[in-house]
Amino acid sequence: MTDVVIAAYRRTPFHFAGKGALAKVRGDEMAAAVVRALVADTGIDPATLEDVVMGCAFPEGEQGLNVAKLVAFMAGLPESVAGVTVNRFCGSSMQSVHQAAGAIRMGAGEAFICAGMESMSRVPMMGFNPMPNPGLAKSFPQAYISMGETAENVAMRHQISRAEQEAFSVRSHHKAAAAQAAGKLAAEIVAVAGVEQDGCIRADSSAEALAGLKPAFRADGTVTAGTSSPLTDGATGLLVCSAEYARRHGLKPLAKVLSIAVAGCAPEVMGMGPVGASRKALARAGIQAGDVAVVELNEAFASQALACMRELGIDENRVNKDGGAIALGHPLGATGARIVGKAAQLLQRDGGRYALATQCIGGGQGIATLLEAL
Amino acid sequence: MSIRKVGVIGAGVMGAGIAAQVANAGVPVVLLDIVVGGAAKAVERMLRADPAPFMGKAPARLVTTGDLGTDLALLADCDWICEAIIERPDAKRALYAQLEAVRKPGSVVSSNTSTIPLAALTEGLAEGFATDFMVTHFFNPPRYMRLLEVVQGPRTRADAVAMVSAFGDRVLGKTVVRCKDTPGFIANRIGGMWMQSAINNAFDLGLTVEEADAVNGRPMGIPKTGVFGLMDLVGIDLGPHVAASMKATLPADDAYVQGLREHAVITTMIAEGRTGRKGKGGFYVRVKGQKLAMNLADGSYRESVKPMLESLALRNLRELAEHPDRAGRYAHAVLLDMMGYAASLVPEIADTIADVDAAMRLGYAWKYGPFELIDRVGAPWLVAALRAAGRPVPKLLEQIGPRSFYRVQDGVLEFFGTDGTYHAVPRAEGVLLLGDIKRRSTPLLKNSSASLWDIGDGVACLEFHSKMNALDPDILGLIGKAVAMGRKGAFKALVIHNEGEQFSVGANIGLALFAANIAAWGEIESMIEGGQKAMRALREAPFPVVGAPSGMALGGGCEVLLHCDAVEAYAETYIGLVEVGVGLIPGWGGCTTMLRRWAEAPRMPKGPMPPVAKAFEMISTAQVAKSATEAKEMMLFRSTDGVVMNRDRLLAAAKARALAMVEGYAPQARASLRLPGATGRAALSMAVQAQVAMGRATPHDVVVCDALANTLTGGDTDFIVETTEDQVLALERQGFMALLKTKGTLARVEHMLETGRPLRN
């Protein structure tokens, strides 16, 4: 069977939406910069690409129409390359990888740009025209539940205290800051509009400072802005191709895709989505959680990240070694490709056989990708 | 030459505040400070301050900051450089010498000194500097206090004084009062004397701080902070500095110097850092939400209590001053000191009594200047009281005899001059005051709450004069009659303006509550409908209607302005649709107009939700713009509406605007809107639920928000069909009526009427 590999990973810096350094940069500009860098880095002939699969959680306004094809134009890809925009909310660009992997396996193309983008500065969460179905909103209101509420629900159901959440957030910031200081993030970052470094990381984050914040979503809650991923601007891209294509083009792949899965869950605890999806992916690969050396578990909220680790029996030492979304930021559509790319990169950098990238998705689902070292 | 760029040196409270006001006027300004990075920090601090020195975010971008040590060259292209550094003549003179090297020829330098005579500041400096130098004394906070004292030296160029005065008046919006070069100029000389007397007499007569403040407050027309509250506000440690400077510059036999005393309790307060609001409390302090007041006798604190003295209930100032209780004796003593002193200082400190009164009204926010106060008690009473106390009677008081300092002669307000005759109170060129027009004419229409005046050139002015200018059936009725008159050609344009402190605080909810209590629902509904008709009559009148607000324009007051063809607003206008505070929604077209404004706004995202979401956010949180500039950002004013910096020039600007619109005028046509209906309501409901979860929305907020959401989303409409303005107006009425029938809303209305504050139920 054809092996699918992650051949390259790049991303823009991630910055706070609204007040950050990328607030004035359109999402398509960020994505185009990443695609250009992937092509340049790998030296491939872009005419050999099948498709640009672009994840975006709110594909409207400046990231609307079929932004994947527009980005292909902006990045100077030949007309022969197609483009499709995919939306699975926070899982959008991991879905890009899944679509490409499926296509490669069935011989429907050899090489894909699997990217994701989100300018949360320029296209608001919920979009410009939130228009829920009034009937569903009444009969099943949790279908539209706010993300913060779900984080509170998870914290309550899984008894994750505020102090635990804060300690987790501080660790995320410290890991990200250490990685940044050691230059471990530099290689993956593509400068955009003169911005070269991530902007959300707080090296001086402390439990004391976080303890002073007010609950962000529920007056008597435990979740604060400090234990939530921030609204972020950024774009990410991967070159996903067949092992054969990589060999033919002299590429040095980071890892191969072993199995993939998605799984639905109750929307009011959407943060637990990674549990079902990861279990499916592990089962499909025939391995146990304990076999996984590297885990990228998206930190939408500290409460759900902690609860998922606990449920899956994953040791935090293996999780988000270069920091997670609480520190780095979470540009919705761009995150999935980042954590797949990061997991692949870490397998190569730090060793180990298996890596898991997984994330929760608003509305009640999870997505997971299992990688294997080459 | 005119002033296109300004430099301010010294980024303390005054310098930074002056720079902010220059920026508020849209003029670029350089702000320098001796402390490295100090000016930039001052701008940061001002962006967070409340009350805000800046009128919006845009003005702050007009301030260029720098360090005095390295960035003096930034002043090279400034037309006016205002110095506001430490009050030391040597430091100021050294700075002026430095300025000579960088400033451009013809530029003007002024000092914001409040204590140092101009003569001392120019000593030893080049002749060319003295001709370009003057004093421009602003009051704190510079944005809000309308007085600018201007002092010129014997050598100051007349055109320099004219240029800076014109800029202060027309651009910065200040009333420029020309002062003589005497210590403390006008306002601080008399204000300082008043404070000293008010403090000394409180100690001597054994008043509590609350009693003293109550006497100085409402009865004398001084802001309700009185004297001790004012000291807390400005900083108690300022007192000894002012006293020292007055002692150094005034003759020893001056009554001010004679009265200087040190109070051990106050000295201790300063030593302990109890310097007022900026320090660890002052004469008043809040501890865990409880207001405490200090005992003047020993400096200890106790719970603050409302003073209960018979004399304080008296409305007549003279009766208060003659009352035998301690508040009465106190009023008598303070009035004698302050009024007697003021009368002794004209023409020493100012040419006219009108200048003195204007300075006290605008610089200290007194309702009446000292001579207006003398008219209230009567000059003969004051003369008799001074004689009885064995005090000298100032010449001016002997001159005036039984007459009053002000009179109206042939419809013109006149003041008593030092030459013993009356003169018209001068108005700056281009100033048009409704008060002046009212003195010399009779209204075209009038009832107990509103009047219509002919303000010349075929323009009429609709004036509200109900309590707080609350809108009632009389006002709505007069709007209808005025429009009918205009339709018949009685005038060609209408201005809506008044000179009250507030343009209008909104509909008279007391009337609505009364009607609701007797279940007169039909009457209420017809009042809502009548209001809608009146607003529509304004908008669809065949002549231009221009609103000219200042102060608060809330609720219905805001809706009146939303229905004008144009607005010329005083910069200090605070406008908003605040109905939710009393559990209601805007019912006089406020919802409809805001939907339309946001839908028609450039750069708004397309689709049915953005205008709805914007209007919902503003109205559901009762947002009030904190300046006319901010009101434009909120679409409560249009981008084409005017902002007038000087309140005295507001009516003239509105009249000119109205006249300019006459030719080819056509009223705005009714519009159709694309509203989302039920789906929009579901989206807004989710947003409200999130606020509930955060503890920011109360149960009755949810009820009010539901009604608001129903109106703004167009009820049962769908975005593929057009919703007319009339349909939205009908929804406004329905929502308003439904809410008025809820217990929660009635409780809010009652609470507001009783306490003046919104109830969070």
Kindly list the catalytic residues of B.
559, 579
Does B724 fall in a domain? yes
Burial of B614 per CB tally in 10 Å (0-12, 13-18, 19+): buried
| Band (A295; pLDDT cuts 50, 70, 90) | very high
Q: What is the pLDDT of residue A276?
A: 97
For B687-701, the pLDDT digits (tens) are: 999 999 999 999 999
Regarding whether B79 and B45 lie in a shared domain, the answer is yes
Residue A171 confidence class, pLDDT cut points 50, 70, 90: very high
Residue A239 has pLDDT above 90, yes or no: yes
Residues of B in contact with A216 (CB under 8 A): 694
Within this chain, do residues B682 and B661 fall inside the same structural domain, yes or no? no
The answer to whether residue A328 sits within a structural domain is yes
pLDDT interval class at A326 (50, 70, 90): very high
The pTM is what?
Answer: 0.90
List the one residue out of B104, B105, B165 whose CA is nearest residue B136: B165
CATH value at residue A294: 3.40.47.10
Assigned domain for B134 exists: yes
Cα separation, B546 vs A349, in Å, equals 71
Same domain, B75 and B127: yes
The residue among B129, B159, B179 that closes a domain is: B179
Q: What is the pLDDT of residue B279?
A: 87
**pLDDT tens figures, B699-742:** 999 999 999 999 999 999 999 999 999 999 999 999 999 999 99
Taking an 8 Å cut-off on Cβ atoms, the answer to whether A137 and B686 are in contact is: yes
Given an 8 Å threshold on Cβ–Cβ distance, is A128 in contact with B685? no
Read off the pLDDT band of B278 (50, 70, 90).
confident
DSSP state of B405: S
Rounded CA-CA distance B511/B473 in Å is 9
In a domain, B394, yes or no: yes
Residue B673 domain-assigned? Answer: no
Contact A297, A359 (CB under 8 A): yes
Is there a contact between B372 and B231 (Cβ–Cβ < 8 Å)? Answer: no
Are B156 and B16 part of one and the same domain?
Answer: yes
Q: How close is the nearest chain A Cα to the Cα of B692, in Å?
A: 8
Q: Phi/psi of residue A155, each to 5°?
A: -60, -40
Q: Are residues B658 and B702 in the same domain?
A: no
Distance CA B512, CA B526 (A): 11
> Among A1, A2, A3, A13, which residue's Cα sits nearest to residue A254?
A3
Structural domains of chain A, count: 1
The answer on B250 and B281 residing in a single domain is yes
Does residue B603 fall inside a structural domain?
A: no
The pLDDT of residue B315 is: 86
What is the per-residue pLDDT across B365-377, written as a single tens digit (0 to 9) for each?
Answer: 999 999 999 999 9
The neighbour count for residue A326, using CB atoms within 10 Å, is: 31
Q: Nearest by CB to A144, which of B608, B686, B696?
A: B686
Measured distance CA(A97)–CA(A110) in Å, rounded = 13
Domain region containing A279: 257-369
Q: Report the DSSP beta bridge partners of residue A295.
A: A319, A356
Asked if A139 has any chain B CB less than 8 Å from its own CB, the reply is: no
Query: Are B458 and B481 contained in the same domain?
Result: yes
* Chain A nearest C-alpha distance from B585 (Å): 23
- How close A297 gets to chain B, by Cα (Å)? 27
Q: pLDDT tens digit string along B107-161? A: 999 999 988 889 889 888 888 899 999 999 999 899 999 999 999 999 999 999 9
Q: What is the CATH number of the domain that holds B322?
A: 1.10.1040.50
Asked, for residue A213, whether it belongs to a domain, the answer is: no
First to last CA, chain A: 16
CA distance A56 to chain B (A): 19
Domain count, chain B: 4
User: Does residue B377 belong to any structural domain of this protein?
Assistant: yes
In terms of domains, do B389 and B246 share one? yes
Contact B681/B713 with Cβ under 8 angstroms?
Answer: yes
Contact indicator for B415, B406 with CB cutoff of 8 Å: yes
**Half-sphere exposure of residue B433, counting CA atoms within 13 Å on the CB side?**
17
Query: What is the rounded CA–CA span in Å between residue A2 and residue A108?
Result: 11
Is residue B607 less than 8 Å (CB to CB) from chain A?
Answer: yes
Query: How deeply is A96 buried, as exposed, middle or buried, from its count of CB atoms within 10 A (0-12, 13-18, 19+)?
Result: buried
- In chain A, what residues touch B609 (CB-CB under 8 Å)? 128-131
Non-local (6+) Cβ contacts of B176 within 8 A are B148, B150, B165, B168, B169, B428
A129: nearest CB among B610, B686, B695: B610
> Is A324 within the bounds of a domain?
yes
CA distance B264 to B244: 16
Name B62's bridge partners.
Answer: none
**Residues B206 and B337 both lie in one domain:** yes
Q: Are A125 and A86 in contact (CB under 8 A)?
A: no
Tell me whether A268 touches chain B (CB under 8 Å): no
C-beta neighbour count of A152 within 10 angstroms: 24
Instruction: Indicate the residue of A132, A134, A146 with minimum beta-carbon distance to B690.
Output: A146
Q: Which of residues 436-455 of B touch A (CB under 8 A)?
A: none
In this structure, is residue A83 part of a structural domain? Answer: no
**Does B364 score more than 80 pLDDT?**
yes
In a domain, A219, yes or no: no
Q: Which residue of A has its CA nearest to B691?
A: A217
Q: How many CB pairs under 8 A join A and B?
A: 60
Decide if A46 is inside a domain: no
Given B612, B641, B668, the domain boundary residue is B668
Spell out which residues of chain B touch residue A218, defining contact as CB-CB under 8 Å: 693-695
* A141: nearest CA partner in chain B: B686
Give a yes or no: residue B760 inside a domain. Answer: no
Interface test with B, best of A58, A126, A131 (most B CBs within 10 A): A131
Is the separation of the CB atoms in A235 and A34 below 8 Å?
yes
Domain CATH for B629:
3.90.226.10
Catalytically annotated residue among A90, A241, A265, A308: A90
Domain with B204, as residue range(s), is 187-416
Does A265 qualify as catalytic in the annotation?
no
Is the CB of B603 inside 8 Å of chain A's CB atoms?
no
Q: Which residues contact B686 (CB under 8 A, 6 or more apart)?
A: A130, A132, A137, A144, A146
What DSSP designation does A290 have?
Answer: G
Whether A103 is covered by a domain: the verdict is no
Tokens for B740, please give them: 């008025």
Cα angle value B563/B564/B566 (rounded, 5°): 135
Query: Cis peptide before B443, with omega less than 30 degrees from 0?
Result: no
Question: Is the confidence at residue B1, as pLDDT, over 80?
Answer: no
- Which residue among B144, B179, B214 closes a domain? B179
- Does residue A135 sit within a domain? no
Say whether residue A110 is in contact with chain B using an 8 A CB cutoff. no
For B286, counting Cβ atoms within 10 Å of its Cβ (0-12 exposed, 13-18 middle, 19+ buried), the class is exposed
Q: How many CB atoms lie within 10 A of CB B51?
A: 8
**Cα gap A330→B354, rounded to integer Å:** 65
